Every structure is written in structure tokens, then in C-alpha cells.
Amino acid sequence: MVLRAVILIGLLPTACFGQLDFEREPINYSETEPVDRVHQLSEEIAAGSVSLQWEQKHGFLKSLLKELDVSEASQTLVFSKTSLQVSQIWPRHPRAIYFNDDVYVGWVQQGEFIEISAADPKLGGTFYSLTQRRSDAPALNRETSRCLQCHASTHTRRIPGHMVRSVFPDQSGQPVYRLGTHITEPASPMTERFGGWYVTGTHGDQRHMGNAWLADPDKSEKLDLEHGANVTDLSEFLNTSPYLTSHSDIVALLVLQHQVHVHNVLTAANHSGHLTARDAVIMDRALERDESYQSDSTRRRYQSAADKVVKALLFSGEIVLTSPIQGTSHFAEEFAAQGPFDELRRSLRQFDLERRLFRYPCSFLIYSDAFNALPEGVMSEVHQKLASILAGSDSSDEFAYLSPEDRVAISEILQQTGVILRVPESP
């Protein structure tokens, strides 16, 4: 599976747990055929319309990234032993993670397989493996129960999802679990991020846990945060020539952390919405109520899920940067160039990197299939709350960090790039 210090997308032994909500109607996670991009590619390969090309140095990696439209500039490196392929991972032999808006790819030198996960619009995190052996018919194999032990835990809100985890690694890359771990979310301070990862880029007086390990966990429980700060060249730590780039860009890492969080919130809201609709139908039939009836309890469940989505989309609780951040690769430029743009050439992908991650704090994942697949009961509440906040009628302290200028800009960008907020008329 992928990590505990990274974005877990890997394989663990079969877990023994009771059937969870997502394995029942109406989700039926393991029995339902995904519609995510990785599954689509799998079908294209099986049909012969697409073929993956093998090369000796990286196996199928380059070809796979090309077919999934994942940029090599998104590379981040994690050296903690938090994957099934632990024997192949240590500080001088880290795992590489590549990603785009809805796909994550994990590659290990001399690894047995490539680890892949996707954000399926309905199912949530879906997991695949691609054996790293030369073949004219490589197959993307879906993984379910072997991955869900970690990928459907409390760390992922008990839904199939991903996680970015920060650990205290020893000099072999083994996490020292007695010291605890940190799941990275918007409010996570910089000093609790990137443990077990390499980080390239400058960040001024801010400190993080990356580029460091405990030389002797029995004698010291502190990482040398100074030595790992503002690193722009990893040659001191490892030979990067086996990798597609020499970077583990801090901007890419921050985007990775953001979108993993939002993907999990969207999946939780999606599942909650479907379960709420199912329960409402059962209750309405039992009480012989009209199909159009919506109880207060049903509305509250939809609102609860929607509130979490809106907070995630608008970066609620996001830490304030105290120094400018700059990466070392072309990731920021490539990412920002994707748009979409409004008539003033503004985009939700434009970075700030001085006060906060993005210039306009509304997540680019509002354009994603995962967002658009939210059940109607949840989506209508999301639209209503977003419209209220952006119009300024919701002036609660919770969103006070959004200036009037922020709200207007986000509203205009959304409207001009195809996101029309649907607000029900007042009775």
C-alpha cells in the first residue's frame, strides 16, 4: 500500500473485519465496477487500443504516467518503510510518488509492482497493482480487501481513501511508532509535516520534519529540523539518477496533502449522502409518507456532510505561512498553467505561497468528477452554503479569513469556468 508517511496506495495482508457500510447497499464497494481513469485504462489495454511500453530502467512507469496524463514534475520521494515493498525502501532508496487530480502512482527501484490508486467518483479510493515484469500483455489488477486494512480506517474516515502520514523514521527508514505519527490535514503545523519524506525547496524560517531521521532512537527523540530545512539539492542524501527527476518539490507535496484531504472528504460525503437517501426511503415507506417528503433528520445528515465539503473546498483551518515558499521543479508552473481561467486569466490553480497555498482559496477539485458525483441531497446543501459564504451573507468567524475581495474573485472564477451555484428559491 502506499504509506503511512506518504499517500497509502498499497497492499497489506487481508484484514479480518466486519462488513462496513461501504460494502453494503447502495455502495457495494468491492462488487461494483469502478469508473475511474485507471479502470478505463485497464479496459483499453485489455481491448488492445492502448499498450504500455517497457523500458529497462523504470519498467512500465514512464508509459503508465503518459497514459494517465501524470506529470513527471509531480514527483515526491518518501523514504519511510510504509509500503508493502519495505525491503526495497530506505533513505538512500526512497519510493517515488507521482500524481494528478485523480490518480496516484507509486514506484520503487527494483520493485515487484507499481502501486496505483484513483479517486473513483462514487466508490472513493480504488487501488491497483501493475507487475513490473516485461510482458506484451501487462494487466492493471484491482486490489480490494488487501488494501482496505489501512485505506478504510479511522485515518480515512472509515471510507476507502488515501492518507498522507508524517512519521519519525530511524536511519533505516523504519517509523518509530512509539513517538507517534501525524495525519496531514489543512490545520497541521509545518513542524508536523513531511516526516519520512524528502523535501526540496525553500521555506524561510518555517521548519518541517522532512530530510531527517533519528540516528539513535534510543538516545534521541528529536529530528534535526535545521539540517533538513531549505534543501534544494538531495545529492547529500541519495543518488537521484535512478528517478525521473532529482526533486521532491515542496509545492507538489503541499498540493498532494491538500487534494488527498479533499478526496477523502468528498468520498465520505458521497457515501453519507447515498446512505441517507437509502434510509429516508425506508423510513418514508414505513411511515407511508410522500416520496417528496424530507424529514428534519434527513436534512441534518445532508447538511452535516455538506458542511465538511464546503470547509475542505474553502481551505477552512488552513495554516498561515510565515515565510515565502518556492519549489525546485517545474511543478508549480505546470500545475498553474492547467486552468481553467476566467476572462481576467484568474484560476483556482494559481499559487500564493506567501500567506497560503493558493491565491484564491477554493479547491480546484470543485471541477472534479468526485465533486460532481455528490448525491443531490448533499450537493444542493453544498451549493446553498457556498453561495451564502461567497455572497457575504454568511459572515461567521469560521470563514472570516476570506476577505470580501476573495469572495468576489472566487465567485466570478467559478461562474466563468462553468460552476454555477444552484440556490433554491425562498418559499
Do 331 and 232 reside in the same domain of the chain? no
* Confidence at residue 283, expressed as pLDDT on a 0 to 100 scale: 86
Do 25 and 158 reside in the same domain of the chain? yes
Q: Is residue 1 part of a domain?
A: no
Among residues 194, 214, 249, the one where a domain terminates is 249
Q: Which single residue is written with the C-alpha cell 508549480?
A: 332
Q: What are phi and psi of 419, to 5 degrees?
A: -100, 100
C-beta neighbour count of 124 within 10 angstroms: 29
Q: Is residue 64 part of a domain?
A: yes
Do 30 and 110 reside in the same domain of the chain? yes
Number of domains in the chain: 2
Find, among 346, 358, 20, the residue nearest to 161 by Cα. 20
Among residues 249, 273, 292, the one where a domain terminates is 249
DSSP bridge partners of 127: 117, 143
Do 129 and 189 reside in the same domain of the chain? yes
DSSP state of 83: S
Tell me which amino acid residue 221 is. E
User: Each residue's pLDDT tens digit in the chain (427 positions)?
Assistant: 443 444 444 433 333 344 578 999 999 999 999 999 999 999 999 999 999 999 999 999 999 999 999 999 999 999 999 888 889 999 999 999 999 999 999 999 999 999 999 999 999 999 999 999 999 889 999 987 666 667 666 777 788 889 899 999 999 999 999 999 999 999 999 999 999 999 999 999 999 999 999 998 888 888 999 999 999 999 999 999 999 999 999 999 999 999 999 999 999 999 999 999 999 988 878 888 887 888 999 999 999 999 999 999 999 999 999 999 999 999 999 999 999 999 999 999 999 999 999 999 999 999 999 999 999 999 999 999 999 999 999 888 999 999 999 999 999 999 999 999 987 665 4
Do 239 and 274 reside in the same domain of the chain? no
Q: Is 131 helix (H, G, I), strand (E, B) or coil?
A: strand
Which residues, in sequence order, are CB contacts of 177 under 8 Å at separation 6+? 167
Do 94 and 26 reside in the same domain of the chain? yes
Q: Is residue 331 part of a domain?
A: yes
* Confidence at residue 18, expressed as pLDDT on a 0 to 100 scale: 45
Do 307 and 193 reside in the same domain of the chain? no
Do 243 and 276 reside in the same domain of the chain? no
Cβ–Cβ < 8 Å for 194, 166:
yes
* Confidence at residue 425, expressed as pLDDT on a 0 to 100 scale: 62
Q: Is residue 107 part of a domain?
A: yes
* Domain span holding position 262: 251-416
Which residues, in sequence order, are CB contacts of 12 under 8 Å at separation 6+? 1, 84, 146, 147, 149, 150
Among residues 249, 266, 294, the one where a domain terminates is 249
* Confidence at residue 21, expressed as pLDDT on a 0 to 100 scale: 85
Do 185 and 264 reside in the same domain of the chain? no
C-beta neighbour count of 53 within 10 angstroms: 12
Do 58 and 190 reside in the same domain of the chain? yes
